[in-house]
Structure 1
Amino acid sequence: MRLTIHRLEQISELHRHHVNIILQGKTLPDQAYFYLATFNDKAVALAWREHSPKQELLGFIAVRDITRRRGIGQELLRQIKLDAKAAGLSHLSCNPAQAPPEQQTGLADFLASQGFNTQAGMLSCYLED
């Protein structure tokens, strides 16, 4: 099977166990655009995009530790950027502090490698043509 990115309004019970592993104790927001990456019907990555009055946020992005460094996060972020641009957005921001302390540097490095730049403690990118 191949990697599949699902756009969801809520997380199904089928994937709840693996999602909880990815979340590492973090709770899901009540409202967001959820992106779930699955491989062989198992959740391997999760992200969500949230709208705030000031900006569009990548509120969370994480790949299960056993599946990292295989391009899953890159593909997940690519889809999020495409959807955000299709929704008429021109900018996306992320706060690396959303990750556990020991993973914040890795998240910041990953986002920087994907075109995000540091602005006032946040990492932001412009959604290009």
Structure 2
Amino acid sequence: MRLTVHCLEQLPAIHRHHADIILQGRALPEQAVFYLATFNDKAVALAWRQQERIDFIAVRDITRRRGIGRELLRQIRQEAQAAGLTRLDCNPAQAPEEQRAGLAAFLTSQGFSTQAGLLSCCLDK
């Protein structure tokens, strides 16, 4: 099977167990655009966006460094651009303290730059 990124209004019950592993105790918001990356029908990455702000993005620790985060972010960018957004912001402080530097490095490698304490990227037209 291949990696699939789903854009959802809510997470399906079938993926809740693996999503909970990714969330590491963090609660899901009531409303957001959710992005769930699955491989072999198992959730391997999760993100959510509210308008131009990515509030959460994480890849399961056992599946990192395989391009999953890059594909997840590509899909988020594509969907945000289709929704008429011109930029995306992400605050690495949303991640657990021990993962913040890694998240900031990942986002920077994907074209985000520091803007007023946030990491931001412009979406191509």
1:109 aligns with 2:78: no
1:28-54 alpha-carbon deviations (Å, 9 max, x no partner): 011100000000000000001112xxx
Distance 1:35 1:41 in 2: 14
Question: Percent of aligned pairs with the same residue?
Answer: 72
Distance 2:5 2:27 in 1: 20
Q: CA deviation at 1:13?
A: 1.1
Q: Name which of 48, 54, 59 aligns with 1:63.
A: 59
TM-score by length of 1: 0.95
Q: How does 1:1-129 map to 2 (within 5 A)?
A: 1-51=1-51, 56-129=52-125
After the TM superposition, which parts of structure 1 deviate over 3 Å for at least 4 consecutive aligned residues?
none
SS of the aligned residue for 1:59 comes to strand
Output the amino acid matched with 1:26: R
Q: CA deviation at 1:128?
A: 1.1
SS of the aligned residue for 2:29 comes to coil
Output the amino acid matched with 1:76: L
Query: What do you get for the CA RMSD once the two structures are aligned?
Result: 0.6
Gaps of 5+ in 2: none
TM-score by length of 2: 0.98
Q: CA deviation at 1:120?
A: 1.5
Gaps of 5+ in 1: none
